[in-house]
Each structure stands twice: as C-alpha cells, then as structure tokens.
Amino acid sequence: MLSLVWVLSACGMLVTPPPTPTAWPTTTPTPRPTATLVPGAFFTPIPPTPTLTPTLTPTPVVHIVEQGDTLLGIALEYGVTVDALVQANNLDISQYLRIGQALIIPLGQEEETSDMGIAVPAGNLILATPTPLPLEIAGVALYQTPVGGVWCMGEVVNTTAAPVTNMQVQVTLLAADGTPLVSSVALAAADYLAPDARAPFAVLFKTPPAGYTEARVTLLRGETVSAITAGFTPLDVMQTAGVVSGPQYRVTGQLLNASGAGVRRVTVVVTLYDREGKVNGFRQLTFDGNKVLPAGQSQEFKVLLTPQGIEVPAAFQVLAWGVR
C-alpha cells in the first residue's frame, strides 16, 4: 500500500482572501473543477532530471516491447512523442501492446523538459479512449510565471476499486463568460495509480491568451491495468519527512519493495499541496533503470522541488512504483 504523509506548516499566506486556517479539506472533488488565477505567484525552475538523448543514425531503431512497457514510457525513453510512435507503427486504437512486439522508433523529433524535471516529448499525445474510467479531478490551481506564462496544476484521483494507468487530461483556459480560449493536454505523472491514490499533472501555457480568467480540466483517458502493464508494482513509502530548503522543499524517505519479486526502473513522484488542498508543486524522479531493487529490500530517496505561489507547502504526498 502506498503511504500518504501530510506535513503541516504554520506559516505561509493564502493567495486568495485568507480564511481562518482549517484542517485538511474533506470535500469530494468535482469531476470538472475550475481554477482561478493566483496573482503574484512565481515559479523558480529546478535542475531537470537527466534524460536519455538518443543519437541520430540512418539505421532504424527498433524497440522490443517488454512486460511493463507503455507507449508513454517508451516515448520518454527515446525522446519521441507518443503520437509519433502510434503513427510510425500504425497502431490500432482498440489493441494493447504485446510482449515481444517490435516498434519502430521515429527519432529526430523535438523533446521538451518541463521545469519540474520531467522529460515530456513535444506534442505529448496518446490514443484517446472512447470512455475513460470514472476518475475524478481535484486540487486544480493556476500560477503565473515571471515571463508571462501560466501553469495549470492539479491531480487525478483514482475512485475505482482497481489500479489504473495512462491517465490523460485536457486543460482549457476560459474567458469570463465561459468561452474556451485555448486547450492543451497532459498525462498524469504516474504509470500505476492504486485505488484512492492521486497522481499530479501540469500544463504550461507559455503565451496564454488575453482575457482568460479560469481553467477547466476534463478527463480524456484512464484505463485499467492490462497484461502489458501488469508488471508495474507499487512500493511502500516509509519514514518520510519534508522540510523547507531555501526557496525549495526537500522530501526524503525510504522505499520498501514488499512484493515477491525484484523491480527495476523505480520511480518516485512527490506532490505538494497548499492549505486549501490545491496542488502547488510536484516532481517525478526515476532511478537507474538497470538497477534492481530486490524483494524485501528498501532504498532511500531524496527529492528537491520548488513549490508554486508564495505559500509554504502545507502537505505532501509520495507515490512510488517499480517494474517487475
């Protein structure tokens, strides 16, 4: 079971008219929340997590699908878009990847690195599902950047009784009268999301349109774990602690592999929250993909990340998983 640890802070300032401090909100999030702009918010970039930069070659690169592979994972590994993978391999929307399947990797496409240390292929898209699972959206907020852009951050909540994967949302900036102005899509930062767990997402509008006042978030995709993604294994998170470190926030702890098999490609996602339960920062960190965490053993982790806005984080969550 994933551990959820909240760290409360007595200082900080709400970015809306400050109400009397209350306990962590317990209201059920709505499926399509909107977020209003946080005035005066700021964002300080942190060093990006090292990612693979493929070398261009005239020889086609082929990836053989292994257990636990997903389109998103393969795209991030080679620095290409998921949409390009789909088109290059003529993938069928109704079929899953197969173990042993050979995929042509269309190298030479642009890759972007988000300020949260997550490598995101440009035009990050995946195939749409006709009917996403009944997941919920929560903790949505908007934050201005120093150069005139705006971040929309929030999280997907797994309200089903089974783990889910491939969660995709669409963020739309709205005018005061509700008119849609611009939209973008993003994948939640979790390959494996257990029941009742939460996975953060973020969309950056570098040049938002004039006149926007809020954002609407819609769930586009969310599916059950299939045979190809069954290798994802949740890790227990223990002995966590969060402290302010200058303008940043540091979270440390231990990961325990309580499953019966070793895992590799261990990934940790830390999400920060303000006193209203809104997401105000997150970062994803993946350890050496070739290093195996044996069954029954643990390893330490340390994640340094920068919160949005001017308020010290009031709580944090840690997700962790590996691939068998």
Give domain 61-121's CATH architecture. Answer: Roll (3.10)
pLDDT digits (tens, 9 = 90+) for 73-106: 787 677 677 777 887 887 765 567 888 888 888 7
Instruction: Report which DSSP code applies to 201.
Output: E
φ and ψ at residue 258, rounded to 5 degrees: -90, 5
Query: pTM for the full model?
Result: 0.67
Superfamily of structural domain 34-43+129-224: Immunoglobulins (2.60.40.10)
Give domain 232-323's CATH architecture. Answer: Sandwich (2.60)
| 257: CB partners within 8 A, 6+ apart | 233, 235, 236, 263, 293, 294, 295, 296, 297, 298, 322
- Is residue 227 packed enough to be buried (19+ CB in 10 Å), middle (13-18) or exposed (0-12)? exposed
Residue-level pLDDT at 24: 34
Task: State the average pLDDT over residues 111-122.
Answer: 44
Q: How far apart are CA 174 and CA 35, in angstroms?
A: 10
Is residue 296 pLDDT above 50, yes or no? yes
Instruction: Report which DSSP code applies to 275.
Output: T
Q: Domain ranges in the chain?
A: 34-43+129-224, 61-121, 232-323
Q: Work out whether strand 136-144 and strand 34-38 pair parallel, antiparallel, or are unpaired.
A: parallel
Domains 34-43+129-224 and 61-121 in one fold:
no
Residue-level pLDDT at 56: 37
Task: State the average pLDDT over residues 279-299.
Answer: 90
Report residue 170's pLDDT band, with 50, 70 and 90 as the boundaries. very high
